Amino acid sequence: MPEILPAQADDQIVFMRRGGSPYILDGKPVEGPVVGTKGGIQYVVGERDSSFTRASPEDLRRVLKLSEQAAQGLIEATTPAEIYRNGVDGDRSKLCLVFTSGGEGSSIGVNIARVASDIGSTHVVLGTWQGFGSGVKTKDKFAQSLTVINDPRVLERWRNTGGSPFGMSRTKIEPDSAEEKQLAENSDGVGMVYGNGGGDHSKNFMTLSRKLTAEGRKTVVGVTPKSMDNDLSVTQDDGSTVNSLMIGYLSTAHTMRRHWFDEMQSAAGAGRAVVGYFFSRGAGWTVLGATRCDEEYVKRMKEDGILTPDLENKMDSLGSKQIGLGPEFPVSIGFFVNRVNEVFAKGRDKFVGVAVSEGFMFKELDREYQRLTSDLKSGKLKKEEVMELAAKGEFDKLIQDPQLREVFNKKKDIAKEFFKVVAEPELDNWDHPKIRIMPQIVDAVVNMLTNAKKTNYVEIKYEARTGETIPSDRKLAENTGALAAEKLKAGESGLTTVTYKDGEDPLLIDTAQRKPSFIPFERITDMNEKHNNLKTLDRNYLRSLGILIED
């Protein structure tokens, strides 16, 4: 047996054509430079492909045949690091680096698989383990993070696995930083760079492209934005701003919906209310996507093939007994309590479900924060004094609002978290205090101040980022991937996404019909996560979908 077979599971062997010579595999000519692969990081390729000891007899015969042909000089056996250093027959412009960055997203694999398939006939596609986190390492360490993905088996796996196929990182690349310099050095000489990122991490690609262009390098850079939050907007040099329908969001909303309605069913049957923690600090799209039960969206779900009888029945029985709280619309405690009591009182089955975005805010809490931080800044209060009183639980001396005092006096741990933010002020996109436990505060208010009294508290969080890709999201990822690959091959750097304007409901967009757009980086003057949110829709429309808005 050849020496390559006992290699460690994380090591990958790549079999390459020599000098563009024709190669027949399974009776068909191989189009691209890669004949086959074996091994690689288990997370990326799966244990069946990463492990040599667990390989099937058929797979072992395939690898044995390829290794014998490599020994005969018919093909070349090499590694991703060697390919990165040497290129394809000495041509590094025939390499494409792939980065995934930010949080997970269900349809990332679908998108990258489409790009890799479309450019794989001419390029070797090298995926980077944990994205830009590896991209800013020294060149030698970066080379060791790479995996070749020109393998139909691997790409098929990605098309059918939710989440990021290369893991993620939160590394942000600032212009003129050491990280930017190292990333540019690692990308130097390759023909293409592509990947996915949320708002901040989509900027990484634009920053890299501008750096390479300014230095006269010819690497083409592309990105398709992904996010569970769906909060990216892009402003162009003509002054227009468009919103991005980000890959992954539609699947996230559906995964959250299934979890949320299961939790509501359980709570309602036990005679309890339920309060749910929903991801997304700056925009309420996740809450809206998981809770709405209007006829138009139900129709869209049916067309997408995702409305099972189980989910449809739960939506029918529980949909009208929900309240959605988004970060865009702070409400007063009294207004919220009245609405909870109103919904709870409907019918014989006393129940209410409250879906809370992590960025939601009570008006009274915001006012208390503003007053306390102002008193600290003016010297009227001392930080040590505030923290001492908070540690002792003497909230009557700190909080003026009677309802908040009542909640804080009985939920001292929650109160202490609030005062940590008072002591070390931090604001969110809405200039509200960045309190990371707002859903728990809402839960305390429901328990203590409403007629519901008892609640189940649930978190609808991380699993939603890696749920199974739904058909509409799959089509979105496929179509954006096809256009992105086309632009990469044409030598055009930029961002590919489906766009929509303010006033349009992204959850009702037909992704099979809506064509994606390509925006060159040189035309982009701003990308941010502050504009694309529920405030782009009419307030009465949102009220009709269950979002609580006070004024």
Q: DSSP secondary structure string, 385-424?
A: HHHHHHHHT-GGGT---HHHHHHHHH-HHHHHHHHHHHHS
Q: Identify the domain containing residue 27 by its residue range.
A: 1-78
Task: For residue 296, report the phi and psi dihedrals to the nearest 5 degrees.
Answer: -65, -40
Asked if residue 282 belongs to a domain, the reply is yes
Same structural domain, 35 and 115: no
Same structural domain, 284 and 433: yes
Residue pair 272/491 in contact by the 8 Å Cβ criterion: no
Same structural domain, 132 and 271: no
Same structural domain, 310 and 333: yes
Asked if residue 417 belongs to a domain, the reply is yes
Among residues 53, 78, 103, the one where a domain terminates is 78
Q: What angle do CA 455, 457, 458 make, to 5 degrees?
A: 145
Among residues 48, 78, 108, the one where a domain terminates is 78
Asked if residue 549 belongs to a domain, the reply is no
Would you give the DSSP letter of residue 470?
P
Same structural domain, 239 and 115: yes
Same structural domain, 48 and 145: no
Output the pLDDT for position 200: 83
Both tokens of 360, joined, read: 């939601």
Same structural domain, 346 and 450: yes
Among residues 78, 104, 132, the one where a domain terminates is 78
Same structural domain, 118 and 175: yes
Same structural domain, 257 and 112: no
Please choose, from the candidates 234, 245, 183, 242, the residue with its C-alpha nearest in 3D space to the C-alpha of residue 212: 183
Number of domains forming the structure of the chain: 3
Output the pLDDT for position 212: 97
Same structural domain, 99 and 201: yes
Output the pLDDT for position 10: 65
Output the pLDDT for position 52: 67
Q: Over the chain (551 residues), what is each successive 10-residue block's mean pLDDT? A: 47 89 85 90 81 75 88 92 96 97 87 97 96 96 95 92 88 95 97 93 96 96 96 97 97 97 96 94 96 98 98 97 98 98 92 97 97 96 94 94 96 93 94 95 97 94 87 98 98 98 98 98 96 98 98 85
Residue 114 C-alpha from the chain's centroid = 18
Q: Cβ of 198: how many Cβ atoms within 10 Å?
A: 24
Asked if residue 342 belongs to a domain, the reply is yes
Please choose, from the candidates 88, 109, 82, the residue with its C-alpha nearest in 3D space to the C-alpha of residue 33: 88
Interatomic CA distance for residues 339 and 207, integer angstroms:
47
Asked if residue 400 belongs to a domain, the reply is yes
Identify the CATH number of the domain in which residue 501 sits.
3.40.50.450
Asked if residue 476 belongs to a domain, the reply is yes
Residue pair 411/444 in contact by the 8 Å Cβ criterion: yes
Residue pair 40/50 in contact by the 8 Å Cβ criterion: yes
Same structural domain, 226 and 285: no
* Beta-strand runs (E) in 301-388: 322-325, 353-357
Same structural domain, 328 and 258: yes
Both tokens of 386, joined, read: 């505030």
Asked if residue 220 belongs to a domain, the reply is yes
